[in-house]
Amino acid sequence: MDLSQANVIPHANAVEIRPLGDAQGANRIVESLPFTIRRVQNQDELLKAVHIRHAAYARHLPEFARSLALPEEADYESDTIVLLAESKLDGTPLGTARIRTNIHHPLHIEESVVLPQWLQGRSLGEVERLGVSQGRIGHVVKVALVKAFFEYFEKNGLEYAVISGRAPVDRQYEQLMFTDVFGTSDMLPLRHIGNIPHRIMAFEIATGEARWRAAEHPLLKFFRHTDHPDIDVGSTNAPCMNVLRASSPAPAASTGVAVRELAFA
């Protein structure tokens, strides 16, 4: 999907316009989506996320997708949340993403690379396992999930988002104004992704809106000037999935190539 063409969101209803006093003094639109995005809170919701995750990976990496049929250990970690997009009509899972911070553990990407000095000692968030359903609604869900994880980073005071993107996914992160952490667009083989070359990129959260505004980014209105009550990443002190350990089956260990990133699947 070309994110530069993602500024028109079908099946979304602008239900109200009201002044909310944003930085530019502009009116903000309150828009209803045909789906919700929430953080997973129980095992049933996690299994829905796993279902859509598995289906998304199966379209691109069918062999690896076999290892994603069950929840992963990372889904239960204390510094991880899983987002789930569900249809309002029938509760069908439409998309998912996992966010891991470095509050208690290094990022998964740090298993393979040493991040540059300017990212050392910073509060970081990594988006993993981003997958959506096929078709036009999947494209809409994808953009909404991007908004959701940026909102989560802001709400939790994270300084940078860090991602790894394989070609051609990396170009979509470029469209979002992520930049290369090592100063070049080189693809680096990552051990935790089976030595598949990936581009390591980061996004400074505090300056994001200003940079989008200066670039007249096509998603600025959707990201920053439209309220979506259907996107709710929860409070910063919401319980984590690790509270389910005592009552949930142990997740199966992943086997084969450990692919962390299939963003925009």
Given the DSSP bridges, would you call strands 35-39 and 226-227 parallel, antiparallel or unpaired? Answer: unpaired
Planar angle of CA 242, 245, 250, nearest 5 degrees = 120
Helix (H, G, I), strand (E, B) or coil at 222: helix
- Looking at residue 84, what is its pLDDT? 98
Q: Is the pTM higher than 0.85?
A: no
Cα–Cα distance, 96 to 45 (Å, whole number): 11
Measuring CA to CA, which residue among 4, 32, 73, 85 is closest to residue 248?
73
What is the pLDDT, as a whole number, of residue 186?
A: 86
pLDDT in tens, the chain (265 residues): 455 444 444 445 543 333 333 444 456 789 999 999 999 999 999 999 999 999 987 887 787 778 889 999 989 998 899 999 999 999 999 999 999 999 988 998 898 889 999 999 999 999 988 899 988 899 999 999 999 999 999 999 999 999 988 788 889 999 999 999 998 888 887 766 656 778 999 999 999 999 999 999 999 999 999 999 999 998 764 545 554 554 444 444 333 333 333 343 3
Q: What are the DSSP E strand ranges found in 20-103? A: 27-32, 35-39, 80-87, 93-101
Q: How far, in Å, CA of 204 to CA of 255, rounded?
A: 33
Q: Render 154-169 in DSSP notation, one character per residue.
A: HHTT--EEEEEE-TTH
